[in-house]
Structure 1
Amino acid sequence: MNPQRTLATAGRILSQIRHDPRTIGLLLIVPSLLIGLVAWIFSDTDSFSVIGPSMIALFPFIVMFLVTSITTLRERRTGTLERLLSMPLGKGDLILGYTLAFGLLAVLQSAIAVGFAVWVCGLTIEGSIWLLLAVAVADAILGTTLGLLASAFANTEFQVVQFMPVIVFPQILLGGIFIARSQLPDGLRQISDWLPLSHAIDAMQAVATNSHDAAYVGGELLILGAWIVGAIVVGSVTLRRRTP
């Protein structure tokens, strides 16, 4: 892998997105609007203070997964990746370039979402807001890398959407949003322990309630980091030059 080629790939992706206002709006604004909708729904109760941190983990994760997977697949279907990979550009350079580009967008997205939830929607954070932002960024990057991984196996945009019930929905159901993970049946609780979104939600809740120390949150971040690296490696190995 070559750092210059990786940075060139990231710059190309960012330049393309800069000229696509709809994608920019989807990435940066829509997660905050969805968080605001949830806050509005529970405006007459105290429930938003309980589920708010989970929403910060959930919506950016889903949006980054969809945008990244569809963007990568579209470039492969149009032959762009085939032309790029015919040059001295490795698959690792390409995947890391995509991760870096969307990772920078994830930082902006997470900062907007966290700021909106705290200062507009009134979400109370007992712990460090900077630590909460760090978890939000890691969670959004996780969605990016899983999206890259899904695009390596899909042939059409519709197939990318079909991956959501396989990759995203089980994590939502078992992540502790609807019921605490400690109350899940034993088998499902063990499965949820292996799902990365569960750890993102746990870390968000821990920071929001200040129920655990920074070492605990750091451990959850390490787990998210391991998933991110694993998705990058597998995505690099399985990436096809062109959709048949």
Structure 2
Amino acid sequence: MNPTRTLATAGRVLTQIRHDPRTVVLLLVVPALLIGLVAWIFTDTPVFQTIGPAILALFPFIVMFLVTSITTLRERRTGTLERLLSMPLGRSDFILGYTLAFGVLAVVQALIASGYALWVCGLDVAGDPWLLVAVAVTDAVLGSTLGLFASAFARTEFQVVQFMPLLVFPQILLGGIFLPRDQLPAGLQELSDWLPLSHAVDALNAVATDSHDAAYVGGQLLIIGAFAVAAVVFGALTLQRRTT
């Protein structure tokens, strides 16, 4: 890995996205608007206070997964990756550069979404609000790394979307968003322990209700981070130069 090449790759990706207003809006604004829509739907009810932390994990995760996977796939389909790798640019430089670029975007997105949920939508947090933000940021970065991983196996943008039922929907269903994980049927709770979004939802709920200490939340963050690192490593190992 060459730090200069990695930073150059990240800079190129950020420059491309900066000149694409629709992608910028999708990445930075849409998750906050969706959170606001949920808060509006459940105005004058306690529902948003109950599901708000989980929603804060869900929307940024999905958006980062889609944008990262489709953007990376486009690099292969257009031959950009093949041209880049013909130069002194290794696969790890490419993947880490993309991870860094979309990681920066994930941080900004999570900050906007968290701030909107807390100070505009009125999400009550019994614990440290900045700890909530830290979990939301890590969760958004996880969505980016899983998107990089999925892009290594897809041949078209449509196939990227097809990965959502495999990589995203099970995490939504079993992550504790619709039903607390300790109330899931036997077997499904154990399966949910192996899904990274479950740990993000657990950590956000723990901060929102102040039901666990910072050490517990830190442990959940380490688990989420381990999944993100694994996705980057496997994405680098399986990356193809070109999609045929």
TM tier, smaller = over 0.9
Specify every segment of 5 or more residues in structure 2 that has no aligned partner in the other structure, as ranges. none
Deviation readout 1:24-75 (Å, 9 max, x if unpaired): 0000000000000110111121110010000110000000000000000011
Q: Secondary structure at the match of 1:186?
A: coil
- Inter-partner Cα distance in structure 1 for 2:37 and 2:233: 36
What is the aligned-residue RMSD (CA, Å)?
Answer: 0.5
- 1:60 corresponds in structure 2 to 60
Structure 1 distance, partners of 2:91, 2:131, is 32
Q: Which residue number in structure 1 is paired with residue 172 of structure 2?
A: 172
Deviation at 1:196?
A: 0.1
Structure 1 residue 130 displacement after superposition? 1.1
1:232 partnered with 2:232: yes
Over 3 Å off, 4+ runs: none
Question: Could you say which residue in structure 2 is the equivalent of 1:243?
Answer: 243
Alignment correspondent of 1:117: 117
| Residue 13, structure 1, aligned to residue 28, structure 2 | no
Q: Distance in 2 between matches of 1:209 and 1:35?
A: 19
Shift of 1:90: 0.7
Secondary structure at the counterpart of residue 123 of structure 1: coil
Deviations 1:152-186 (A, max 9, x none): 00000000000000000000000001110000011
For residue 107 of structure 2, what is the aligned residue in structure 1? 107
Match for residue 91 of structure 1?
91
Matches within 5 A, 1:58-207: 58-207=58-207
> What is the percentage of aligned positions where both structures have the same residue?
75
Distance 1:4 1:18 in 2: 21
Q: Distance in 2 between matches of 1:128 and 1:178?
A: 24
| Deviation of the 1:225 alpha carbon | 0.8
CA deviation digits over 1:82-132, x for unaligned, max 9?
000111111111111001001111111011000000111000011111111
Where in structure 1 are there 5+ consecutive unaligned residues?
none
User: SS state of the match for residue 65, structure 1?
Assistant: helix
Query: 1:219: Cα distance to partner?
Result: 0.3
Provide the C-alpha distance between the structure 2 equivalents of 1:214 and 1:26, rounded to a whole number of angstroms. 32
